[in-house]
Amino acid sequence: MREKIKKTGLLLSLLVFFLSSASWLLAGGDLLIKNATILTVTGNTIPNGDVLVINGVIKQIGQNLTAPAGVRIIEANGRYLMPGIIDTHTHIALSGTNEGTDAVTPEVTMAEVVNADDTSIFTALSGGVTMVHTMHGSANVIGGTNVVLKLKWGKPSEELIVKEAYPTLKFALGENVKQSNRTLLPGRPQRYPATRMGANALIRSELMRAKDYMAAWDRYEQQKKSKNPPANLLPPRKDLRLETLADLLRGKLIARCHAYVAPEMIEFLNLSREFGFKIGAFEHAWEAYKITNELKAAGVGISVFIDSWAYKMEAAEGIAYNAAYCTQKGILVSINSDSGERIRRLFNEAGKAVKYGLTQDEALKLITINAAKQLGVDRLVGSIEVGKQADLALFSQHPMSAYTRCEMTIIEGDVYFDREALLKERAAASTKKGGLL
């Protein structure tokens, strides 16, 4: 009996997957959300507010709005509407995580290995997450370039990529890179770098190589343009690894650096000054509270957990006050999940920041506008404002409450997660033969 219920349910979920890729069946980017408690994030909270979305863009915010005929109306009934949650550090929706063989692999491009079939996308949507910065892992000192995706479940992979986001290059320091928590197999040598000083030296040497590479190309270009280019003129070998590092030096990429302990961050800031490259944020940054002055002065933000700590030595001095304290010190802070499980309760993680010193409004920013700013997409998303893309999430209670749950997740006016519809589907499947679930 349960098998039959299961099978019908499975058929239905398959159907839902197919239908969601047939955009003609959805609202097509037009919605009118009525009577919501609108948490705009950058402005005041609007009780009993309406949001009109046309062609995936927020057209109007107010009270008693009307929509053109045919536009789907969503009755919020006082529920809380917030901007879609942005997770600035994940590894979902990718065919691989680490090119862990070499310590320097900037040539690998995560944008080329997006996997839109990853069910983690659905899991994230069920937690109100609409956008992710999905990255190369932290196995290497220099990993690869990352990609920002909108979680349009059911759409082809190329439609998920957010082209407007800052192009970023993953760096990592500390224990993962040193492989210090791994058992070395006999016959396999310890990979360089085995120390934090080796990691920094490696970055320096690679960037110097990149500089040489850029100089070689400059020389070639000069010679080619000259009146009598030499007969034996041959372009330098195109090296994808050094090309990417050259882009970092040229300012075409910004660094996102996984660092836990304070000296790692201080020294990486020094490297960035030495070579003139930009840092987008420090990932995890468990000891950021120790160096708020340095971070503030450098204008570098952090993307952190709230209280998942003590799993490695370098996380042993992480404190749950980190996010709140750094926010209070004027640092741009976002909360991330770095996990296909935590991503669906990212809003709870941000909610904990209230206990550690922030207001609910400030905590809400940690997973919306702050994240958007760090990714360079704050013109497009991160708050509920007229003109921004309609990436929204509807919650049963205030998203910073422990008692809330995500009811609906909308990306550019299309509904990608609808709990009510899901429950109806389940009820239909189970009433056929009776049963609890």
Partner 1 sequence: MNKHFKKRQPASVRPLTTAFLILVLVASSLSLAQAGRAEVKPAYALVNCRIFPVAQPVIEKGTIVIRDGLIEAVGPAGKIQIPEDAELIEASGLNAYPGLISAHTNLFLETKEQSQTATPEEYLEALSQPAEPKEFPWLQIVEKIKPKKQTVEAYHRAGITTVVVAPHEGIFQGQSVVLNLNSDQVSEMVLAQPWALHINFTTERGVYPSSPMGTLAFLRQKFYDTQHYSQHLQKYRQSPQFLKRPEYDPFLEALLPFVIDKKPIVFQCNNLEEIKRALKLIKEFRLNAVLTGCNEAWRVSQQLKSASIPLLVTLDFRPPASSVYAQQGQAIREKAEKEIYPANASNLAKEKINFSLTSFGLNDTNFVKNLRAAIKAGLPADQALRALTIEPARTLGLDKQLGSLEPGKIANLILTKGELFDEKTSIVKVMVDGTLFTYEEKGQ
Partner 2 sequence: MKIKNMKVNRIKPGLLKNKNQLVFLAALLGLTLLGIYSFPLPAAAQTEDRTEVVAIVGARIVPVTGPVIESGSILIKNGRIADLGANISIPSGAKVIEARGLVAYPGMIDSYSWLGLEEISGVRATVDNRETGRINPQVKAIEALRYDSMHIPIARANGIVAAVVAPSGGLISGQSTLVKLDGWTNREMVIKESLAMIIELPALRRGRGEFAGFRGQQPQVTTEKTLDELRQIFEKARMYEKRREAARKNILLPPPDFDEASHFLLPVVKGELPVIFSVHADKDIHQTIKFVQEEKIKAIFYGVEQGFKVAKEIKEAGIPCIIGSLYSLPPVWEDGYDALFLNPVILNQAGVKISFSSSSASTAKDLPYHAAKAAAFGLKPEEALKAVTIYPAEIFGVDKLMGSLEPGKTASIVLADGDLLELGTKIQKVFIDGKEVSLENRYTELLKKFEQREADK
Q: Which residues bind partner 2 (CB under 8 A)?
A: 2, 6, 9-10, 119, 122-123, 126, 181, 289-290, 293, 307-313, 315-317, 319-321, 325, 340-342, 344-345, 348, 351-352, 354-355, 360, 363, 396-397, 400-405, 422, 426, 436-437
- The encoded tokens of residue 286 equal 């468990």
Name the minimum Å distance from CB 112 to partner 1. Answer: 5
Q: Confirm if 176 and 138 have CB atoms less than 8 A apart.
A: yes
Report CA torsion sign: 40, 42, 355, 312: positive
**Residue 235: contacted member of partner 2, partner 1, none (CB under 5 to 8 Å, by partner type):** partner 1
Tell me which residue of 341, 352, 298, 371 sits closest to 130, measured CA to CA: 371
Among 12, 16, 17, 422, binds partner 1 (CB under 8 A): 17
- Rounded CA-CA distance 48/62 in Å is 9
Name the minimum Å distance from CB 95 to partner 1. Answer: 4
**Residue 232: contacted member of partner 1, partner 2, none (CB under 5 to 8 Å, by partner type):** partner 1
According to CB under 8 A, which residues from 207 to 236 bind partner 1? 230-232, 234-235
Strand partners, 307: none
User: Which stretch of DSSP H or E encloses residue 407?
Assistant: strand 406-411
Count the Cβ atoms, other than its own, within 10 Å of residue 397.
Answer: 13
According to CB under 8 A, which residues from 232 to 261 bind partner 1? 232, 234-235, 237-240
**Residue 348: contacted member of partner 1, partner 2, none (CB under 5 to 8 Å, by partner type):** partner 2
Name the minimum Å distance from CB 396 to partner 2. Answer: 7
Q: What angle do CA 301, 352, 321 make, to 5 degrees?
A: 55
- The encoded tokens of residue 356 equal 């550690």
- The encoded tokens of residue 111 equal 């944008």
**Residue 388: contacted member of partner 1, partner 2, none (CB under 5 to 8 Å, by partner type):** none
- The encoded tokens of residue 113 equal 């290995």
**Interface with partner 1 by CB under 8 A: which residues?**
6-7, 10-11, 13-14, 17, 95-102, 105, 107-110, 112-119, 136, 144, 156-158, 185-188, 230-232, 234-235, 237-240
